[in-house]
Structure 1
Amino acid sequence: MFFSMCGSLSQNLENPFLQQLMKMYGMRIDPLRVQQNPTPLDIRPNGRLNIILSENDQIAMKPANWWLFQTLTEDGYTYDKRYRSFNTRKDKLYSSRQQDFATQRCIIPAQCFYEWNQHRYRIAPVNGSIAFGGLYHRYPTAEGIHYSCSIITLPPHDRFRSIHDKSFPLMLTQDEITPWLDASFNDTHYWSTALETKIRFDLLITPVDSKSPDIVAGDSFTIVNDDSPEQDNAGPIIAPGQNYSLFD
């Protein structure tokens, strides 16, 4: 079962980055919704999270299941276990999911994500938060629309292999957010540069407790961005071991 995987991410409706996005696009959120959704530190595949997308010519925030392909059960929609679709590999963007890539892009905001390589690590930008590039689907229901999403993954990065050696998530820069959310902008080849595997900002890597990600379990280190003159200083080497990953 996919639940044996340990990858997860953290999302907080009160995060300053998310609040800035909402202000930029004129979005509002009911304060009661914030109170009813305490800070999720450990959202797992098929868990509920918030995505930002363009709908009816407006930017909106929607709750979604983190697993692109869903199936209907007696209890509502849940993950379709025939497809491991919480991630979408880069190569699929120009083949089986090209239409989604052209018209159904979304952002998954997060404070950080987690990876395992013998130990659990929290990965977060040194400054700011993360705007994961993703895709979304809509599923009509009697109550409205059920949304699902997937995070786009790129080939692995050499200086990130000590944390995870299978792939690297697409993390958008601030100037890419507006065109990414423009549903009328369908030129998928525009994104060729963004889809290059690159560490685009400094990442703070912190060992955390395997069961309680809010508990720090060792000294942090930084993997600097690829444009930094200090990029050869990639932090300590972690002994290779079994990877349980969010982005495989």
Structure 2
Amino acid sequence: MCGFIQRVTDSPAVIALLEEVGLQHTIPLFKDEANQSNVINFYPAFGKVATKRITNLIVNHSKGIDATWWFDAKPNGETLEIGERTTFNARNIDSPYWKKAIHHRRGIVVATAIGESNPSLGGKGKSHYLMQPECGVLLLGAVYRIFSNGAYSCAVVTRPPIDGFSKYHEKSIPCFLPHNKDMVNAWLQNDMNYEVEQLLATPKLYTDLRITQVKTFKGAEPTSSSEILRATDKA
């Protein structure tokens, strides 16, 4: 489960990566964010709060959308009414529910940190882990919907956990995207292709993560020393 996303809006690493992977035309979107806040925290739309959105979800090489972080929704005036189905992550992507979006409506979330949780030892409560990429930025695969009133909803794609990651979330890992122009191009295509099929079938961690157990994601007050989870090819 990916239940928290953070973006440092004035991060030079974000701008550099967007240029590197051929998304330079989206850079003004992220520079505009920096005029509003230095840090943006994104949470799923629990409590049926449609205004809990991921901003500037990249859907093509020059466009970003603001999408409610909860896939199951329907139009309600100029906004959305959140459904009962828990759909802030798209995990069972073989289900017909996700097929259209997985094949035709893929997007990219730019993040400078994410949060994962696992049951605490002893079974009481949960332990929360703030994950920060050593390179400064992550690309996450997502899917989105378009509604008749012009609103959007989205979900972060997740896959079965890989070695080492289940310590921080036992059921899934976010669909990390490689920092590679060809793969970004393939992911943003409006069809299913071999590159995307392989990425979904063999999830990997493409950059080292510094992981810190925290009391809360927003406060980020550490409860233990940090550790490094190495990228898949370095493990």
Aligning the two structures, in what range does the TM-score lie when normalised by the shorter sequence? 0.7 to 0.9
Aligned to 1:106: 107
Aligned-pair CA distance for 1:149: 1.0
Whether contact under 8 Å (1:208, 1:217) holds in the other structure is yes
Match of 1:181 in 2: 188
Instruction: Give yes or no for contact 1:125–1:203 (8 Å, CA) kept in 2.
Output: yes
Q: Is the 8 Å Cα contact of residues 210 and 229 (structure 2) preserved in structure 1?
A: yes
Question: Per the alignment, do residues 64 and 130 of structure 1 end up closer, same or farther by CA in structure 2, a change over 3 Å counting?
Answer: same
Q: Based on CA coordinates, which of the two structures has the bigger radius of gyration?
A: 1
CA contact (8 A) 2:9 2:31 kept: no
Residue in 1 aligned with 2:72?
A: 69
Task: Tell me the distance in 2 between the aligned counterparts of 1:123 and 1:136.
Answer: 24
CA gap 1:67/1:17 in 2 versus in 1, 3 angstroms: farther
Given that 1:154 and 1:169 are in contact with CA atoms closer than 8 Å, whether structure 2 keeps it comes out as: yes
Q: 1:223 is matched with which residue? A: 229
**Structure 2: tracts of 5 or more residues without a match:** 46-51, 121-126
Provide the TM-score with structure 2 as the length reference. 0.79
Whole-Å Cα distance in 1 between the matches of residues 175 and 36 of structure 2? 30
Gaps of 5+ in 1: 232-248
Other-structure match for 1:239? none
Q: Structure 1 pair 139/75, CA: closer, same or farther in 2 (3 Å)?
A: closer
State the partner residue of 2:148. Answer: 140
Residue identity in the other structure for 2:206: R
- Counterpart in 1 of 2:88? 86
Q: Relative to structure 1, is the Cα distance of residues 220 and 31 closer, same or farther in structure 2, using a 3 angstrom cutoff?
A: closer
- Which structure: greater helix fraction? 2
Which amino acid letter does the alignment assign opposite residue 86 of structure 1?
A: F
Q: Percent identity?
A: 23
SS of match in other structure, 2:93? helix
Residue correspondence of structure 1 range 208-219 to structure 2 within 5 A: 208-210=214-216, 212-219=218-225
C-alpha deviation, 1:207, in angstroms: 1.7
Query: For this pair of structures, how many residues does the alignment match?
Result: 214
